[in-house]
Structure 1
Amino acid sequence: MQSQTATTATFVILAIYVIIMVGIGIYMSRRTKSSEDFMLGGRNVGSWLTAFSYGTTYFSAVVFIGYAGQFGWLYGASASWIGVGNAIIGSLIPFFLIGKRTRLMTNHIGAKTMPEFFERRFDSKGLKTIAALIVFIFLIPYTASVYNGLSRLFGMVFDLGDNGATYIIIAMAVLSAVYVTLGGYKATALNDFFQGIIMLIGIITVVALTVQKKDGISAAFDALNRISDSKTETGTLGSFFGPDPINLLGVVILTSLGTWGLPQMVQKFYAIKDEQAIKKGAFISTLFAFVVAGGSYFMGGFVRLYCTLGGDKDKTYIETVNGKPVYDTMVPALLQQALPSILIGLVVVLVLSASLSTLSSLVLTSSSTLTNDLIKPRIKNFDDKHQVMFMRIFIAVFLLISVIIACNKNASISTLMSYSWGALSGAFLGPFLYGLFMKKVSKAACCASFITGVGISVMHMILFSLNIEAFSGIKEAIIGLNCPLSLLSPINAGAFSMIVSLIIVPVISAFTKAPDKKIVDNAFSSLEKSV
């Protein structure tokens, strides 16, 4: 619990932050004239706003609170490799590889959302409908995981019980709904820029204080190497690749490659202004990811110096559930020890900034997809005014469902996020990526990817998370395999679904019929232009 002075300072910082967020929403509402303005900012967003919007959508409380704590505990300092993967594979490569093609092709065929891209690119209304349902359903657990991360931090700062955490979740949902509903994409992008600056300052400060508290980097690594890892071995938690490099690779794949197929990430390229903005944005977003993601995982690598499962009075005792530590409590415990209480307000705003920027992109992607791809085609005379109105209504519906799930504390932050990313990117990665580069990609291949991406995530959830008695035999048989790449992990299941998508799309396309040649040639004719 903070001192009275520190608590007051935190409330003042929060109040200023909220006023700025709402003010930006009101300002941008006057510049939002059409549904394309609301969804994509008129496709005229510059490099800095796009890069910061991409980065702040990428990283939230899920990374800072959930993943940094869990993988810092499991892999020690080697968890920093996740941040490196996020910067290079998740930020730099997609800007250069798919940024220009996405902007050109989606603009040429008139696609405002990823489901609409599948419809126009593959001449299939069915693909659009299925994709829209997948987006709406599987963005919900990701949103819930962001709320869980926020409630953990606020619970630590203000010593809140379960009811208090619920009120915080509701308040954050209302705040994100207000400025997204008012200003749409433009308000989200401008807020993301402001929030990104806060994240950069906050992460650098937190990492410096975390290491300083343990007498510098060398002393911290020495102390880390004296601690036994999960296999009761010493000398691994401070090593280059850590105690479990194979499963660490699974995390890198899920959190890095996944961005290539996530609708809330790819949609940033729909809205970017021109080719120069893409090139410039690539370097800005990569640097942002190195600092924010790299800093978060580097900080998380030292949680064992601050947390314990018992027997060390100098560390915070971490509770266990079914013999496993509650990972989501580790980073809040670290912050409580490493930071002066007067700086906790900075961390609160840091995590709030990261989370609200992600939430705004998620709700905007979900509501625009539901309205544009499911409602609009089925209602006559559905003009721009009605479309924006429905998007605002679905923002509220989406947030309400997410809040209800977030108030259930049984699922960890990383589990919720893993199932969401695994299903979404496992379904869309192959069809979207190959759809930009290969003319022979077929509708059947897209359907197969949709089925495997969602199927793998749902089956894993049924077998290993819901603990349904009827499937216990299958679960025990899989456990008995003793596979080095843990099939029990929803993270590895998500990474596996993405790799499957990349394999089956070209294979099935080779044996099935491609869309009509005129449709395909029209889509690819856009690539001969400049942005």
Structure 2
Amino acid sequence: MVIKVLLTIVFLIVMIGVGVYTCKQANSVDGFVLGGRSVGPWLTAFAFGTSYFSAVVFVGYAGQFGWRYGLSSAWIGIGNAVIGSLLAWLLLGRRTKLMTQHIESRTMPDFFGTRFDDQGLRVVASVIAFVFLIPYTAGVYKGISTLFEMGFGIPYEYCVVLMALLTAVYVILGGYKATAMNDFIQGIIMLFGIVAVIMAVIAAQGGLTVAVSKLAELPSDGSVEPGSGMFATWFGPDPWGLLGVVVLTSLGTMGLPQMVGKFYSITDESAIKRGTIISTVFAFIVAGGCYFLGGFGRLYDPVVVNGKIAYDSIVPAMLVTLPDVLIALVVLLVLSASMSTLASLVLTSSSTMTLDLIYRDKKAEPDEVKDSEIDAEVSEKVERRKVVVMRVLIVFFIVISLMIALNPPTFIAQLMGISWGALAGAFLAPFMLGLYWRGVTTASVWACFVWGVGLTVVNMLLGNPINPINCGAIAMLGGFPIVWLVSLFTPKMNRDSVERIFECYN
């Protein structure tokens, strides 16, 4: 316990120290939200990866899908690396950086309002982002607190509140730069932590060959015959269900505001090339490792509540028998993953509410000549006021998500499925196509917003007849034909205006 407490205290002091160190760089809106658009490839790549993988993945997803699919759940981690990281950087990195800088966009809702010349889109997108980031944040709280409770014996409620307070402190102090620097430190802990934990768990089972043999001997769900299980096969007992999880958790990153925002702040195009490689390698190790570890979950006894398996207890059950030093490392691993994701979520939510709802500045056209310059002192005061409002909204967002986390309605994986389904279902297709295709119409963006949010909410109100994870995958993929078809039959945007926007790629 002394080792666990000391390591955790040192970790938290470093996190807050980084917030204090970067405080001076967070006085302006660009500094607070985007780190001055000058964040290097290593910090950006690690920020992308650590925001992607949190306790939701390590505790919730790895446990639930490892139990369902066995070793084949490792395909989820591979999909996350290839689609969610490599493809996301290749398709979105350069184009997002250039276009958002050209149209002076600071947030994803801001992009929709400016790119498609409709401030209504900007307002609605910011509301969607704020509302549906909350269940994801609650899922992250739940994941870290479940493992923290196991490692320290501290009641769940105290863990949730403590994590919220500590994350709020360093985000409020240093904004995005503090978040990115802490993400780098946290990412290194995650890399070493996941490798050490996998080695320890497999060694405890007698080695990799023995562990795989034990899985192969387990019966499939609904069967009583030993050796009839599919948990040690390449594609597991449910390949189509596995594919739905791969789509949701991999493709979704390209439509999430907190993920795409990383491309806004990176230094330049050469940094994007280096960041692509770093981020992909990071994802292979962390995501692949998490799901590979979860694949051995059936070799342990989970907690059963009201006759149902508590999936969020599976990974803690695997780790509780490890030596104290390794448990301390696991706690830091999940703490690192979760605090980085929480920081990204609360910063994204507060910035969209502030810049896209409370302060909706009208942007001048690129060729518009201003009649007079705004007084520098007045402009600086407005900038500082915006930063103050964002800091206040960070507290507000954390309080709301805390209320859900203290009384979570479902398993972690379902919380994330609802959040990712609505956000990426609404944003993914119009954002990606808007970077490439001049023919996307404003009406098609509205249609995709209705589709993504509508499908998710209706499914939830009907009691989830479609599994939230599969529903999220359908929402994301369905957005592309909707944007394409609606764009074919609705009025086009002003051609000159669109051409000016796309000049950034010349």
TM-score, normalisation: structure 2: 0.94
Give the equivalent residue in structure 1 for 2:160. 169
Give the equivalent residue in structure 2 for 1:129. 123
Q: Percent identity?
A: 52
- 1:238 partner SS: coil
Aligned counterpart for 1:318 among listed residues 277, 282, 303: 303
How far has the Cα of 1:318 moved from its partner?
2.1
Which whole-Å deviations, capped at 9, do the CAs of 1:211-270 have from their partners, x for residues lacking one? 111111111111001111224272410000000000000000000000010000000001
Q: Which amino acid aligns with 1:400?
A: V
- 2:218 partner SS: coil
How far has the Cα of 1:157 moved from its partner?
1.6
1:303 equivalent in alignment to 2:290: no
Give the equivalent residue in structure 1 for 2:367. none
1:336 equivalent in alignment to 2:336: no
CA contact (8 A) 1:427 1:452 kept: yes
How far has the Cα of 1:168 moved from its partner?
1.1
Query: What is the number of residues matched between the two proteins?
Result: 487
Q: Which runs of 5+ in 1 are unaligned?
A: 1-6, 308-316, 466-474, 476-486
Give the equivalent residue in structure 2 for 1:27. 21
How far has the Cα of 1:378 moved from its partner?
8.0
Aligned counterpart for 1:100 among listed residues 94, 103, 110: 94
Give the equivalent residue in structure 2 for 1:524. 502
1:86 equivalent in alignment to 2:80: yes
> Following the alignment from structure 1 to structure 2, what is the Cα–Cα distance between the partners of residues 335 and 139?
29
> Following the alignment from structure 2 to structure 1, what is the Cα–Cα distance between the partners of residues 37 and 102?
12
CA contact (8 A) 1:74 1:229 kept: no
- 1:30 partner SS: helix
Give the equivalent residue in structure 1 for 2:445. 446
CA contact (8 A) 2:42 2:278 kept: yes
Q: Which amino acid aligns with 1:174?
A: L
1:239 equivalent in alignment to 2:222: no
CA contact (8 A) 1:121 1:519 kept: no
Q: Which amino acid aligns with 2:303?
A: I
> Following the alignment from structure 2 to structure 1, what is the Cα–Cα distance between the partners of residues 157 and 345?
20
> Following the alignment from structure 1 to structure 2, what is the Cα–Cα distance between the partners of residues 462 and 385?
41
1:11 equivalent in alignment to 2:5: yes
Q: Which runs of 5+ in 2 are unaligned?
A: 363-377
> Following the alignment from structure 1 to structure 2, what is the Cα–Cα distance between the partners of residues 406 and 362?
15
Give the equivalent residue in structure 2 for 1:258. 252
Aligned counterpart for 1:120 among listed residues 107, 114, 121: 114
Give the equivalent residue in structure 1 for 2:219. 228
> Following the alignment from structure 2 to structure 1, what is the Cα–Cα distance between the partners of residues 181 and 166?
15
CA contact (8 A) 1:173 1:399 kept: yes
Which whole-Å deviations, capped at 9, do the CAs of 1:166-195 have from their partners, x for residues lacking one? 111111111111000010010000000000
1:180 equivalent in alignment to 2:166: no
How far has the Cα of 1:129 moved from its partner?
0.4
Question: Where do residues 397-476 of structure 1 align in structure 2 (5 Å cutoff)?
Answer: 397-464=396-463
TM-score, normalisation: structure 1: 0.90
> Following the alignment from structure 2 to structure 1, what is the Cα–Cα distance between the partners of residues 312 and 352?
31
How far has the Cα of 1:365 moved from its partner?
0.4
Aligned counterpart for 1:352 among listed residues 335, 339, 342: 335
Which whole-Å deviations, capped at 9, do the CAs of 1:343-394 have from their partners, x for residues lacking one? 2111111100000000000000000000000000289988101110000000
How far has the Cα of 1:402 moved from its partner?
0.4
Higher mean Cα deviation, 455-464 or 55-64? 455-464
> Following the alignment from structure 2 to structure 1, what is the Cα–Cα distance between the partners of residues 361 and 395?
21
> Following the alignment from structure 1 to structure 2, what is the Cα–Cα distance between the partners of residues 448 and 324?
39
Give the equivalent residue in structure 1 for 2:271. 277
CA contact (8 A) 2:25 2:35 kept: no
> Following the alignment from structure 1 to structure 2, what is the Cα–Cα distance between the partners of residues 157 and 386?
41
Give the equivalent residue in structure 1 for 2:370. none
How far has the Cα of 1:122 moved from its partner?
0.3
> Following the alignment from structure 1 to structure 2, what is the Cα–Cα distance between the partners of residues 31 and 510?
45
The two structures, once aligned, show a CA RMSD in angstroms of 1.4
Give the equivalent residue in structure 1 for 2:485. 507
CA contact (8 A) 1:427 1:451 kept: yes
> Following the alignment from structure 1 to structure 2, what is the Cα–Cα distance between the partners of residues 197 and 107?
30
Give the equivalent residue in structure 1 for 2:386. 387
Give the equivalent residue in structure 1 for 2:206. 215
> Following the alignment from structure 1 to structure 2, what is the Cα–Cα distance between the partners of residues 168 and 209?
26
CA contact (8 A) 2:4 2:324 kept: no
Which whole-Å deviations, capped at 9, do the CAs of 1:396-429 have from their partners, x for residues lacking one? 0000000000001331101111000000000001
> Following the alignment from structure 2 to structure 1, what is the Cα–Cα distance between the partners of residues 412 and 229?
28
CA contact (8 A) 2:25 2:32 kept: no
